[in-house]
Structure 1
Amino acid sequence: MLKAAAAKVYQTGLALMLGAAFALASPSALARKAPEVSTTAPGFETITLADLPRDGRTTYARILQGGPFSSDKDGSVFGNRERILPRQSRGYYREYTVRTPGARNRGARRIVCGGLEPQLPDACFYTGDHYNSFQQIVQ
């Protein structure tokens, strides 16, 4: 039993250290791992990785790594019902939660990525106002 408790403490400590490393990672370190986006979608303002909120940079890094994510809904299909993002077939866009400090629920901040493979998105967009507006994430 003592052995199992020690293993759990070790796993928890390791998870905390990895989480802190992602949260504190410099934007340039995240940028090296990000896929190249050759063009921006017409009509969209852009936001650089460095200008994303810290929690946004953490979420973006987790998207590229395939998780772990903070919400069960992360990675679910984003329907683009607002029709703000460029039109694509259903299933192209996926949404991810960006932690909103002080929110008791998922909050308003999201990253929505489009592409055939979730870990290799063609383009990602940040919204700080729950889908009312989007900025395309660029290097």
Structure 2
Amino acid sequence: MSSHRPTTRAPRWGGALLLALLVTLTACQSPNRQARTDAESGLPIVALQTLPPEARRTFTLIRAGGPFPHAQDGQVFGNRERLLPARPRGTYREYTVRTPGERDRGARRLVCAPRLECYYTADHYASFARVEP
């Protein structure tokens, strides 16, 4: 007497289809976490909408040409840290981004060149991100 058991095998294409479905679902669920960077400076790029509301208000004032709340706003930023792209002295101007709860100007700034090439710092020039309007 033979003990032959019938085997049930899924069609070959069934395994390939299942694998393709799993890969697709995994890809759809994994957000693209690769940060965009500015080609010239190598700095991260941030969308204006993602900045704090105070930074967005300051950007609006810069675009309008003022008036600015602080006498220091619009002064030349020297780029001594050399974190921003090299430009002739006087190109960059700095603007205060109000920090809620701070009694002084705080650490946050927008530094801009003509045509609204702006960079945001939340840590008083230790790091920057290029602002994309």
TM-score normalized with structure 2 length: 0.69
CA contact (8 A) 1:41 1:136 kept: no
Higher helix share: 1
**Structure 1 CA distance for aligned equivalents of residues 76 and 62 of structure 2:** 14
Using CA pairs under 8 Å that are at least 6 residues apart, name the structure with larger relative contact order, 1 or 2.
1
**SS of aligned partner of 2:59:** helix
Between the two proteins, the alignment pairs up a number of residues equal to 96
Is 2:72 the counterpart of 1:73? yes
1:42 CA drift (Å)? 3.3
1:41 equivalent in alignment to 2:40: yes
RMSD: 1.2
Unaligned runs of 5+ in 2: 1-37
Larger radius of gyration: 2
Residue 41 of structure 1 aligns to a residue in which SS? Answer: coil
The answer to whether the 8 Å contact 2:120/2:130 transfers is: yes
The one-letter code matched in structure 2 to 1:64 is: R
State the identity as a percent. Answer: 52
Aligned to 1:136: 130
Q: Distance in 2 between matches of 1:40 and 1:53?
A: 24
The residue identity in structure 2 corresponding to 1:46 is I
| Deviation >3 Å, runs of 4+ | 39-42
Q: Following the alignment from structure 2 to structure 1, what is the Cα–Cα distance between the partners of residues 39 and 70?
A: 28
Aligned pairs for 1:1-139 within 5 A: 41-115=40-114, 120-121=115-116, 123-139=117-133
What is the Cα deviation at residue 40 of structure 1? 5.2
Match of 1:22 in 2: none
